[in-house]
Amino acid sequence: MYDQIMTEVCNWCIRFLYKASDYLGMSYEEINVWLFIIIQPGLIIYFFLSSCKWKTKYLKIKTEQIK
């Protein structure tokens, strides 16, 4: 059951990427590179740095409230 669902989800995503490649005029492989080599790691780094910034602000506010 689980394998079948995962196969269907994977196949749907592949079909979506092929349709997106036709629409964007890029190959399936180019879209994969953009999504999984450039955009996804970029978002991970961005959200990590944003959370570090948020934590620094939070700790600064927290220490100011204690004083």
Where do the structural domains in the chain lie, given as residue ranges?
Answer: 2-66
- What pLDDT shows up at residue 37? 96
pTM: 0.73
pLDDT at 62: 87
Instruction: State residue 65's pLDDT score.
Output: 84
The DSSP symbol for 26 reads: -
Task: List, for residues 13-41, the tens digit of each pLDDT value.
Answer: 999 999 999 999 999 999 999 999 999 99
pLDDT value of residue 64:
85
Query: How confident is the model over 41-65, as pLDDT tens digits?
Result: 999 999 999 999 999 999 999 888 8
Question: Closest by alpha carbon to 18, among 8, 6, 30?
Answer: 30
Token duo for residue 37: 């080599």
